[in-house]
Amino acid sequence: MARLFGTDGVRGVANVELTNQVAYRLGQAAVAFLGKTIVVGKDTRLSGDMLESAMVAGIASAGGTALLAGVVPTPAVALLVRKLNAAGGAVISASHNPPEYNGIKLFDAQGFKLPDAVEDEIEAFVTGGGLEARGPEGMPQGDDLGFAVPLKDANEIYVAHAVSSIKDQGIDFEGYSVAIDAGHGASCQTSPEAFRRLGAEVHVINDDYDGTDINVQCGSTHLEPLRAFVAEKGADIGVAHDGDADRVMLVTPEGDEIDGDVMEAVMAVDMKARGVLANDTVVTTVMSNLGFTHAMRDAGINVVQTKVGDRYVLEEMRASGYSIGGEQSGHMILLEHNSTGDGLMTAVQFMAAVKRSGKSVAEAAAIMEKFPQVLVNVKVSDKEAVVDSDVVAAAVSEAEAVLGDDGRVLLRPSGTEPVVRVMVEAASQDDADRWARKIAEVIEAL
C-alpha cells in the first residue's frame, strides 16, 4: 500500500481517497500523538466542511478540544498554535491542487510540520483502526469526551501579526499600488486586508469562492489573470497565492514573474544589510536556479542546498540556525516571523526590502540573472541502474567540464514515477538544450 503521508501531509480526491474515516482517525491521532488541544483550519474547498466535521469528531472522540479557526491560510494555523499555546494544529487543504482534491497536514506545538518518524507512527495508528482498535476500554466516555470551540478572531490574529512585522521596522506601503489574486482560496480575507492596513492601494481579483473554483485558472500557478490585472490597474506589483496561501508568486508591472529564487535573493541581501541574516547563509533546494547561487556569491552570502521540498529546507534551517530558506515555487520560510511557508509574510517582507532599496520592483528583481534551465523526463525501467551507471556519470562529467562555472547538471530519480529527471542549466539556451538532450539520449540507450 502507498504511504499515507506524502511530502505535505495526507492528500487525495475528497470522499474517494481522502475519506471521512481517514479524517476521523487523523483527528484521534492528533490528540493521541500531539495533545489535547488542536487548532483546526481549512481552505475554501467544498469538501472542507465535510472533512472538518469528521476530523473534529475524531478529536472529540479522543477526548480533545478542537479550536475551529474556519477558513484561514495554512500559516495562520501554525501561528495560532503558538499564540494559543495549543498542543498542535491541523489544516484541511490540498494547497495548489484542483478543487476535487483535499488534504490534511499536521503541526506540532511549535507550529512545525511533523517529522517522517512521527508521521509513520500516525499512519500505523490510522491504518490500524484508530482508538477503536483498542476496544471499548480505549475509548473515552462520559465526561472524558471532548468538544469544539469556534475561534472568532483567527484571521485577525494572523493579519495583525503580518502588519506588525512591517510596522516594527518603521515602514509602510503608502504610495504603492498592489494587485492581488487570492485564487478563490484562504487568502481572500487576509492578504488584501494586511496590505490595506500597511497603507497600500489594493486591487483584488478572485477574492470570492463557492468551493469549486479554488486554484482554477488563477492564483500562483496561473499568473495570466494577475498579469492582465496588474496592467489594467497600473499596479506596482502583483501578488498571487495558492489555495492555502502558504506560497506566493509575484509579478512586476511589466508582467515578468518573480519566483521564489528572486524573492529569496532580494530579502537575503536586505537581511544581510540589516544584520539579521543568520550566519550570512540562505537555504534553498537543488532545483534553485544557478543564477541565484551566483547572485548570493557576489553578495557574500553562503548557499546551502537540500532535497526538493520545503520540509527539507526547514529541517536544515532548524538544524543549523539559519533564518531564511525557500523554493522556486514561492514557498518561503522566514523563521523570525513564522514556522512554516507563509505567502503573506513573504510578500510584505519582500515589499519592505524593495522599499528600503529605493528601487522599483523590477529593478530590485534584477538582482539575479536567471540561467536558461532545461528539464527532460526520461522513462526508464530501472532508476537505480541509471544513477549507478558509469556511462551516464561520464556523460554528466563531460557536460560539467564544458559548462564549467556557467552551468550545472542535476539527475533526479522521480519518487513516484519510473522516470529520471535530467536538469541542465547553462549560459545559453542552446547549450542547455544540447547537453540535456545528449545526457537523455545516453540514459535512453542504457
Q: Which of the residues are catalytic?
A: 95
Beta pairing partners, 4: none
Beta pairing partners, 422: 376, 411
Beta pairing partners, 14: 18
Instruction: Look up residue 96 and give its three cell numbers.
Output: 495548489
Q: Rounding to the nearest 10 degrees, give the CA dihedral for residues 36, 37, 42, 47.
A: 40
Q: Helix, strand or coil for residue 170? A: coil
Instruction: Look up residue 334 and give its three cell numbers.
Output: 522566514
Task: Sheet containing 201-205: give its strands across.
Answer: 201-205, 177-181, 237-241, 248-251, 257-258
Contact in structure between 372 and 432 (CB atoms under 8 Å)? yes
164 vs 239: CA distance, rounded Å: 19
Instruction: Look up residue 131 and give its three cell numbers.
Output: 482508538
169 vs 242: CA distance, rounded Å: 27
Write down the number of H helices and E strands in the chain: 15, 19
Q: What is the DSSP string of 313-340?
A: HHHHHHHHT-SEEE-TTSBEEETTT-SS
Contact in structure between 158 and 111 (CB atoms under 8 Å)? no
C-beta atoms surrounding 152 within 10 Å: 10
